[in-house]
Structure 1
Amino acid sequence: MTLPLPAREALDAFAACPGWEQRARLLMQWGERLQPLSDEEKQDANRVAGCESQVWLVGTCSEGRWRFRATSDARLIRGLLAVLLARIDGLSAAELAALDLPDWFNQLGLGRQLSPSRSNGLNAVLQRMRELAQG
């Protein structure tokens, strides 16, 4: 499967970071690039269950390709969401279903830094994306 352009950019950017502190700083910067959600979009129906931080997710499908927008009240989580969105931007429902999330974060060099609660939260976000994609 070829990576979406934003995912390749993420891989290049994170590969250039020699250590966790630089990656953490880069994550925060990526988080600032997220498109903000409106107050209407930050409603309970769009909130992802299973995340310690508050996370909201909205998705749209056009010609079988999914685009998601998400945000969180936590800066580090916004960064993780940004690199997740970079990876899944424009995927079909079948490609979303097949995505190996731990592998993606390992490729970025972030896998070892994900606490179990963050890992569970990101899995909950991906699960919600899959639910939306399945209709």
Structure 2
Amino acid sequence: MSQPVQPANEQFLTAILDNDLQATLTLFEQAGNWQERYRQIMLLGKALPKLDEQLRVDSAQVRGCESNAWLYHTEINGLHYFIADSDARIVKGLIALLLIACNGKNSAEINAFEPNEFFAKLGLAGQLSPSRTNGLLALANAIKAVA
């Protein structure tokens, strides 16, 4: 499923790591309504670097997502880092949230991560369609599987 990150694409890791989880959580907590949260998700998706076309291969595709989504993983000094992309902007933003929560964590931290609790804390529980929720869980499970 996931392939090691190619050295030429390691710049994606630092772009993802520049996002601060607490700042993101604060933005979502301050959002007064679903439309503002949706806007924040879209902005996160826009900020997530696009994968090169040669990395959008079947072996990196996450199954269970309605939209196309690709996930790559590497481990550095016992910590896990991921890059991912989607052809749907909202999914790309939701992926960014997952990456913010999981990048730079060890295996135990990632395996303890509860995506349903995370998305409930962000106020997204019940706002996403069942197919989108299933896709997010597929991505979270893919992240856990490689960690």
2:138 to 111, 124, 129: 124
Tell me which amino acid in the other structure corresponds to 1:20. W
The one-letter amino acid of 2:144's match is R
Aligned partners of 1:115 and 1:91: how far apart in 2? 28
Query: Where do 5+ consecutive residues of structure 2 fail to align?
Result: 1-16
What one-letter code is carried by the residue in structure 2 that aligns with 1:10?
T
What is the CA deviation profile of residues 87-119 of structure 1, one whole-angstrom value per residue up to 9, with x for unaligned ones? 111111121111110110111111121221111
Matches within 5 A, 1:52-67: 52-67=66-81
2:66 maps to amino acid: E
How many residue pairs get aligned? The number is: 130
Percent identical pairs in the alignment equals 38
Q: Does 1:88 align with 2:102?
A: yes
Give structure 1 stretches of 5+ with no counterpart. Answer: none
- Of 36, 39, 46, the residue aligned with 1:32 is 46
Which residue is equivalent to 2:64?
50
Cα RMSD after superposing both structures: 1.4
Equivalents in 1 of 2:90, 2:64: separation in Å?
17
One-letter amino acid of the counterpart of residue 77, structure 2: E
Shift of 1:65: 0.7
Q: Which residue of 1 aligns with 2:28?
A: 14
SS at match of 1:111: coil
Judge conservation of contact 1:65–1:91 (CA < 8 Å) in 2. yes
What SS does structure 1 have at the residue aligned with 2:72?
A: strand
* Alpha-carbon distance in 2 for matches of 1:42, 1:94: 29
In structure 1, C-alpha distance between the alignment counterparts of 2:96 and 2:130, rounded to whole Å: 19
